[in-house]
Each structure stands twice: as structure tokens, then as C-alpha cells.
Amino acid sequence: MIKLKYIFSLLLICILSFSVFGQKTSDANFPKCTKYPKIIPAKKNVWIFIMAGQSNMAGRGFVEPMDTVTNQRILSINTKSEIILAKEPLNLYESQMKGLDCGVSFACELLKFIPDSVSILLIPTAVGGSSIDQWIGDSLHRKVNLRSNFRQKVELAKNFGEIKGLLWHQGESDAKQLLVRTYAKKLKGLFSDFRKTINDKKLPILTGEIGTFTPDSTFQNAINKAIVSNAKKDKHTFLIQTRDFTDKGDKLHFDSKSQRIMGERFAQKYLEIIKLKIKQLVQ
């Protein structure tokens, strides 16, 4: 009887130990140190992409070790506005919620096809939970004034290279009955303002559909309809599909695999855009 109690106690200890120490915490693989580029590339060789929107652009996926492998040609910024080697997560604003985003996978895919002389600089400005009205109104959201911060990051970025595009993913906060009707008009206006801030009327803005993971996704579908419509009407806005993506279990946020695929699709879409530009120049 004593032996059985002893064995049972050991088993209980093992189970509790596994549940506490064996579980992966969301920040288990977050980088422990910052790495800086050996040389900051010349401005003419730096392509800059601004990342804006809410949580699925800010990143909520689980960061794996492979997401933190640095590349001298993939850069980002830290909270001190210093140029650093990009590692996931890129989010600067939400210390308790940040996770894997699509930025590094986007840059990795681009590097396969662009000249070896070019480096990619990723500038994160997305903040989870932000609505389109908050972006338009420069609201203080989770300690960030959204548009002011965007403008500041744009001015900072211009010191290091040329802004080539904007990656936008947002709409979950607007998937509500009273908000979906005006979303398309607001999106059009906001994109116009983004281009004015960057001083490029033809700036490519790449957008993705939001997730439809709940049994009744009526309002999410309405937001997606507005996103698709805007991309069709604006010849400088481009769409990637995300309908085959999976959530991380919360019916809202893309899982890590989907985040990496989103980055690759954004990159492939951008490559289509620049090929189109080359053809137009030739003609």
C-alpha cells in the first residue's frame, strides 16, 4: 500500500512538472539579444515596407526558432529607432500580446527574386484592436497615437531608403453591424492619406482579407467584400486571399503557419507589381 502511494505521488509530480515546465509559453523563443547590421546599406539599396493595421499585422502567432534567424539584408527598428537585424516578433508596442507576424517571411520571400544589392527594411506600426476610425482620427490606442506614430515612422524610414509599399491588414474591429456600411469609404480615404503622408500617389498598398472563423461570419464577410471592392477600384491597391488560413484557436488570429504564408503571398503579389511596372516602362 505504501509503495502504491509512493508511485502515485511520483506520477502526480511528473504530470504537474510537465504541465508547468513542458508547456510552451508564447515568448519562449523571443530573441534574448539585439543584433545590429555590420554595415548600414546605402539609401539607394534599401527598400522599405511599412506594416500597418491591427493584431493580425502586429502578429499573434507562436514564434519558432526559425523565425529569429537573422539575415544581414533584412532590417527593422527597435524602440530607440535604431536599425537592427530583423527577428520575430517585430511589434514594438504590445509587450504582453505580441507574437509572430508576416514581416520576416515577406522579406525572406522577396530576397529570393530581387537584386543581391538590395536590403529590406521593415517598419512596424500596426497595433492590435485598432479600428479604422481610430486610424483616421489619430486616436491614442494602447499608448500609441496611431497616425502620429505612422507619420513619425515614415519620416524615420526615409532617412534610410525608399518606401516601396505598405502592408495593411485590419478590419476585425469593424466587423459590426453599424460599422460595415461605411468601411469601404473610410478605407479609401485612409489609403489616400497614407499616400499623402509618404508623398507617393502611386504607392502600392497590399491588403489581405480578415479571418472568417466563427459559425456566423456575416459582418466579417461584409468587411472582406469592402476590402475586395477597394482593391478592384484602386489600381494601386492589391489583394491577397486568406480564406484558406487557420486560426490559432481563438477564432480571430492567424496561426504561425498562416502568418508565414501571408508574408509569402504579400511578397509574391509585390513581385507581380514590380514586374508590371517594368513592362510599362519598356512599352
48: helix, strand or coil: strand
Neighbour tally for 234: CB within 10 Å: 15
Residue 12 lies in a domain: no
Count of CB atoms situated within 10 Å of the CB of 76: 22
CB 165 within 8 A of CB 205: yes
Helix (H) or strand (E) holding 4: helix 2-17
Q: 252 burial class (0-12, 13-18, 19+ CB within 10 angstroms)?
A: middle
Nearest to 261 by CA among 269, 272, 251, 252: 269
Give the pLDDT of residue 281.
56
In a domain, 1, yes or no: no
Residue 12: per-residue pLDDT: 44
| Whole-angstrom distance, CA of residue 107 vs CA of residue 115 | 13
pLDDT at 31: 86
Exposure string of 33-50, with b = 16+ CB inside 10 Å and e = fewer, is: eeeebeeebeeeebbbbb
Within its chain, how far is the Cα of 88 from the centroid?
10
Which CATH number characterizes residue 164's domain?
A: 3.40.50.1110
Q: What residues in the chain have per-residue pLDDT under 70?
A: 1-24, 277-283
Q: Is residue 18 part of a domain?
A: no
Residue 26, pLDDT score = 81
Alpha-carbon distance of 89 to 180, in angstroms, equals 30
Please state the domain count of the chain. 1
Contact between 55 and 128 (Cβ < 8 Å):
yes
Domain of residue 184, residue span: 37-282
pLDDT value at residue 32:
84
Give domain status of residue 11, yes or no. Answer: no
Cα 189 from chain centre: 21
Residue 141's identity, in one-letter code, is H
Q: Is residue 22 assigned to a domain?
A: no
Per-residue pLDDT reduced to its tens digit, 63-98: 999 999 999 999 999 999 999 999 999 999 998 899
Any domain includes 74 = yes
Long-range CB contact pairs, 28-32, < 8 A, 24+? 28/63, 29/63, 29/64, 29/65, 29/67, 29/68, 30/63, 30/68, 30/89, 31/68, 31/87
Query: What single string gives the DSSP state of each residue in 24-35?
Result: PPTTTTS-SS--
Domain annotation covers residue 66 = yes
| pTM attached to this predicted model | 0.89
Q: Assess if residue 222 is contained within a domain.
A: yes
